[in-house]
Amino acid sequence: MAIPYLVRKKADLTSGERKEQWYAVQKNLQERGGVNLDKLADKLAKNSHFPKGMIMGVLSELGETVEEILGSGQSVTIPGLGTFQTAVTSPGFDSPEQVTPGKVSLSRVYFVADRRMTARLKKEPCYRIPFELYFPEDRITPAMRRSDEEEADE
């Protein structure tokens, strides 16, 4: 595996003045929505002894079940994948008894990836998508062309 990226110019304002620099930015080479349920079930079936239909059934129920558990105030941890959690918020009050259920709301549902999975993914190499595939022809410099050729030779 390798993680694709593009090169884009961004404004850096951290020093107090505007300075434009070039940065790597994520490029997902996928259809909108990423890997769908059918493709995920295919891959899981190939990597396990469970039939695709059974896997699709379990995955189809996963969202609703996780929602139910999160709705009861618990988190959901899937070993090797990560943890789904919720966070609540409220306005500030002068006394604790003013913080009533009607004034508290869910602020977000979030996912924290498993640390081991994150560590493994951080070891994956990255590769630059050739400039010619996303830069206008008239903006590609000779140095950029050489860089594309050098990466193609590797």
How confident is the chain (154 residues) per 10-residue block, as mean pLDDT?
85 85 77 84 96 96 97 97 97 95 95 97 92 91 92 78
Length in residues, the chain: 154
Q: Residue 2: its pLDDT value, please?
A: 83
Q: Which of 114, 126, 119, 96 is nearest to 25 (CA)?
A: 126
pTM across the whole model: 0.74
Q: Residue 30: its pLDDT value, please?
A: 60
Q: Residue 87: its pLDDT value, please?
A: 96
State both tokens at 88.
């609540």
